[in-house]
């Protein structure tokens, strides 16, 4: 039986409350004094994966990799999947070395690196910006162009969703003409109640609205601001000292992603087995996973190079968007927060991911 943990593991404060001095006092949970070479088996065999939020259909690859024994095949004795408290918290914990691996996002990884920590992206899972602006057909009419938002009330939750939505509205010249409000964590319900004309959120929010009977139109922020969604981060020092561990983890995760994409119903079964509370919302979680793997996990980079690969463009666009909003505490070079060095291009599940899944 899976062990999905829901304790928050608040070793230290979340983003904004940590310093490089504190981080420097800590060693990684899996520090190894033994040599670790790229082609060997992992020297750290018991690892933790901190999710960005509560387990859902968006986390199907990791559960599939563990429950199908893919991590075990790579030499891991245990992979503890833990519920998280946001992408900022996950990036912090990776940077502090409190977990070996974490699921976060490009915007939060840049933000945390500007605050004195060094989490590194070692693989991109979600190749497109997951942020969207959406409206219901009944409440708004058909939404096809951001110019239609002029004079309306648009709401979004806090954090990076708000920053991305604001930047999108500004890029399209409508920010000054909309009433842009903070909808807290209840954006979907406020939209459905008619308190908002449109909302900024992520594609999972659209699925939630659809499962409450709404017909929803979506404007993709990725078409204006490229960024990466879910990605796998680890502390830079941990990765440098445990190359085989990182490469083994990524190979198994890519295998899990491919399996879950080609066996979506079985992947959701594994999620429900791991977290029985999801049974009540099985169809919702299945739709989230279907949308994620069909629309957000492919790019030309994936087709040309393989699963997990980054390129400079989305990192630079994300950096420029957040820098313009004065999000960063100190400056950060977007080229330093990611690497493709731990992706094994001889692994069929990495190199041939697109061909295997799209065929």
CATH number of the structural domain spanning residue 206: 3.40.190.10
Q: At what angle do helices 282-295 and 203-210 cross, to 10 degrees?
A: 140
Query: Which structure tokens are listed for 170?
Result: 């500004």
What pLDDT is attached to residue 37? 55
Query: Which structure tokens are listed for 278?
Result: 């999801």
Q: At what angle do helices 264-274 and 282-295 cross, to 10 degrees?
A: 130
What pLDDT is attached to residue 40? 82
Question: Are 49 and 84 in contact, with CB atoms under 8 Å apart?
Answer: no
Residues 107 and 153 in one domain: no
What pLDDT is attached to residue 36? 55
Q: Which residues pair with 181 in a beta bridge?
A: 155
Residues 333 and 288 in one domain: yes
Task: Return d(Cα 176, Cα 92) in angstroms, integer.
Answer: 34
Please list the alpha-helical segments (H only) found in the chain: 20-24, 60-67, 70-73, 87-96, 106-113, 137-140, 160-171, 187-192, 203-210, 236-241, 243-262, 264-274, 282-295, 300-304, 312-324, 348-351, 353-358
Q: Report CA torsion sign: 241, 333, 165, 95.
A: positive
Query: Which structure tokens are listed for 295?
Result: 């629309």
The predicted model scores a pTM of 0.90
Q: Is residue 51 classed as helix, strand or coil in its secondary structure?
A: coil
What pLDDT is attached to residue 133? 98
* Structural domains of the chain, count: 2
Residues 256 and 304 in one domain: yes
Q: Which of 223, 244, 271 is the last residue of a domain?
A: 223
Sheet with 4-5, side-by-side order of all strands: 4-5, 78-82, 46-50, 101-104, 231-235, 119-124
Residues 260 and 292 in one domain: yes
Nearest to 6, CA basis, from 105, 66, 80, 58: 80
Task: Classify residue 111 as exposed, middle or buried by CB count within 10 Å of its CB (0-12, 13-18, 19+).
Answer: buried
List C-alpha distances in Å: 187 to 157, 181, 231, 306.
6, 10, 24, 35
Q: Which of 223, 257, 278 is the last residue of a domain?
A: 223
Residues 194 and 236 in one domain: no
Q: Is residue 232 classed as helix, strand or coil in its secondary structure?
A: strand
What pLDDT is attached to residue 359? 75
Q: How many residues does the chain have?
A: 359
Q: Which of 203, 223, 243 is the last residue of a domain?
A: 223
The parent domain of residue 323 ranges over 4-128+229-358
Residues of the chain with pLDDT under 70: 1-39
């Amino acid at each position: 039986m899976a062990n999905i943990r829901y304790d928050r593991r608040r070793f230290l404060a979340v983003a904004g409350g940590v310093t490089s001095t504190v981080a420097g006092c800590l060693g990684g949970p899996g520090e190894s004094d033994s040599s670790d070479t790229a082609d060997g088996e992992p020297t750290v065999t018991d690892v933790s994966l901190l999710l960005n939020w509560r387990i859902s259909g968006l986390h199907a690859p990791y559960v599939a990799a563990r429950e199908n024994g893919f991590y075990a095949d790579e030499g891991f004795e245990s992979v503890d999947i833990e519920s998280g408290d946001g992408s900022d918290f996950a990036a912090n914990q990776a940077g502090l070395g409190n977990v070996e691996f974490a699921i976060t996002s490009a915007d939060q990884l840049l933000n945390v690196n500007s605050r004195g920590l060094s989490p590194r992206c070692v693989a991109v899972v979600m190749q497109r910006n997951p942020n969207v602006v959406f409206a219901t057909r009944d409440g708004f009419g058909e939404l096809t162009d951001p110019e239609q938002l002029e004079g309306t009330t648009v709401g979004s939750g806090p954090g990076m969703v708000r920053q991305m939505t604001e930047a999108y509205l500004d890029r399209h010249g409508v920010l000054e003409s909309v009433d842009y409000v903070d909808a807290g964590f209840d954006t979907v319900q406020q939209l459905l109640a008619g308190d908002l004309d449109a909302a900024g959120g992520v594609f999972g929010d659209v699925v939630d609205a659809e499962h409450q009977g709404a017909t929803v139109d979506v404007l993709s922020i990725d078409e204006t601001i490229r960024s990466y969604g879910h990605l796998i981060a680890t502390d830079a020092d941990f990765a440098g000292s445990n190359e085989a561990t990182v490469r083994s983890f990524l190979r198994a995760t890519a295998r899990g992603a491919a399996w879950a994409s080609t066996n979506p119903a079985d992947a959701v079964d594994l999620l429900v087995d791991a977290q029985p509370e999801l049974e009540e919302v099985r169809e919702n979680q299945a739709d989230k996973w279907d949308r994620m793997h069909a629309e957000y996990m492919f790019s030309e980079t994936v087709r040309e190079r393989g699963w997990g690969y980054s390129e400079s463009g989305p990192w630079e666009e994300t950096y420029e968007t957040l820098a313009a909003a004065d999000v960063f505490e100190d400056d950060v070079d977007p080229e330093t927060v990611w690497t493709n060095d731990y992706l094994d291009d001889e692994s069929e599940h990495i190199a041939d991911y697109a061909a295997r899944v799209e065929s």
